[in-house]
Amino acid sequence: MSRTLISLFLLLACANLSSQEAAAPKPDAKTQLEAAQKLVKQLSPGVFDLNGIQITTATRELRIPCSILHQKLPIEYALCHEAGEKVHETILETKVQPIQIQLALLLANYQPGTLGILEKLDPKAERPYNAKDTEPKTPGANRLAIHVEWKDGDKVKNVPLSDFIQNIETRKTPPDLDTWIFNGSLIDETGFVAEQTGSIISTYVDRTAIINSAAKGNERDDLWISMPANIPAEETKVSLIITPAK
């Protein structure tokens, strides 16, 4: 990927971030993005590395290095930065900075938009956020499939991220938890908000997280718990794999 093309992607990242806030982006957010952009390295034709995130342009696959933080707990998040505010409510953690994950998604041609997060919200229920939903420029470009891969002895296991999560009332993984929404985090006076909170993938609606669940009941913070029987041991190194939703 040429420096010119990367610069174009960086401009797109800034444009997408700024479109989610009425106010213009603060300079520190731009600086954060520029610092992340400088870490992009080509490994082979069509394959790039961004601080440990592997980006394959042909398939739009991202592989993010993570580890299991908790096997058994009530959750609001599936993935947080290791220094995030909500590490006591997440299954996975990562050392990769949230803004680097957002940039990697943009480089893989995903487009942020909140459309889809609240599509299953009861019309009588209160909306978790008041802002009008935004659409990606390309329909469906904010919809993701997410899997987790790890080594179990000589075998490689690969399962949907949803296998790690259950509904506390049904004690089952809801079938609509197989699609996730790349909404993109927000920018405020502190900069890129996910950098401050560490929130990356949320099961309970959080507009400051980078990715949200679209499952029915996602407006409730008391509905989601981990599925311990499906989760490898704590501290197990795993790859979080993002691909386009089908």
189 — pLDDT class (breaks 50, 70, 90): confident
* Per-residue exposure over 18-28, b if at least 16 CB sit within 10 Å of its own CB, e if not: eebeeeebbee
Nearest in space to 144 (alpha carbons), one of 237, 214, 223? 214
Full domain range(s) for residue 62: 3-244
* Predicted local distance difference test score (pLDDT) of residue 25: 44
Q: How many domains in the chain?
A: 1
Residue 54 to residues 32, 57, 101, 219: CA-CA distances in angstroms?
Answer: 20, 10, 10, 32
Alpha-carbon span 21 to 24, nearest angstrom: 7
166-198 burial: b if 16+ Cβ within 10 Å, else e: bbeeeeebbeebbbbbbbbbbbeeebbbbbebb
Three-class HEC string of 39-72: CEEEEECCEEEECCEEEECCCCEEEEEEEECCCC
Share of the chain above pLDDT 70, in %: 89
Give dist(CA 142, CA 226) in Å, integer.
25
- pTM, two decimals, is 0.89
Lowest mean pLDDT segment, chosen from 30-34, 160-164, 198-202, 212-216: 30-34
CA distances from 108 to 72, 134, 141, 167, 212 (A): 33, 20, 10, 31, 18
- Closest to 87 (Cα-Cα) out of 99, 73, 101, 104: 73
Pick from 22-26, 81-85, 121-125, 130-134: least confident = 22-26
Q: Containing H/E element for 245?
A: none
Q: What's the distance, Cα to Cα, between the start and end of the chain in Å?
A: 27
Give the pLDDT band (50/70/90) at residue 190.
Answer: confident
DSSP code of residue 182: E
- Return the ∠ at Cα 109 (arms to 241 and 113), rounded to 5°: 90
**pLDDT tens-place string over residues 15-28:** 444 444 444 444 47
For residues 15 and 234, which has the higher predicted lDDT (pLDDT)? 234
Q: How far apart are CA 200 and CA 129, in angstroms?
A: 18
Q: What pLDDT does residue 12 have?
A: 43
* Predicted pLDDT of residue 121: 96
Give 216's DSSP letter: T
